[in-house]
Amino acid sequence: MALQRTFAIIKPDAVGKGQQGEILSRIHKAGFKIVAIKTMRLTKEEAGGFYAVHKERPFFGELTDFMSSGKIVALVLEAEGAIVKWRDAMGATDPKKAAPGTIRQDLGTSIGNNCTHGSDAPETAAFEIGYFFAGLELI
């Protein structure tokens, strides 16, 4: 399997509860290299640009409100098969349906408050990484 990069977010619900350390620990234990990391707070407009693919969906306003409600931790992760590996570590979007031992099953509380985000495909990862990080931050 090829070395790959993916994008991850520790969402406002997890940062607000002080869970970023636990999530970062799980990232390290899973064998990811953290290529880039930053803590920030998105504006509603920035969250809207990031989630533009969902603009026509009924949950878009709620999603952008939530993602701009507090600090996030944005990360670029690298590993063999990083996209699938990170999605497996996160678990299903709904914490109630996530596999035991996954981040969302252990730390998430609802579909909306599920602690983490991860790219779902190489094209998505490329867009998401570029949205948050400049080229010089990715060396």
Q: Which residue in 90, 105, 117, 118 is the catalytic one?
A: 117
- Domains of the chain, first to last: 3-134 (3.30.70.141)
61-87 tens-digit pLDDT:
999 999 999 999 999 999 999 999 999
Per-residue three-class SS string for 81-98? CHHHHHHHHHCCCCCCCC
Torsion of CA 28, 122, 8, 42, to 10 degrees: 160
Q: Is the pLDDT of residue 139 over 90?
A: no
Residues 36 and 75 sit within 8 Å (Cβ to Cβ): yes
Residue 14 has pLDDT above 90, yes or no: yes
Q: How far apart are the first and last CA of the chain?
A: 22
Whether residue 117 lies in the annotated active site? yes
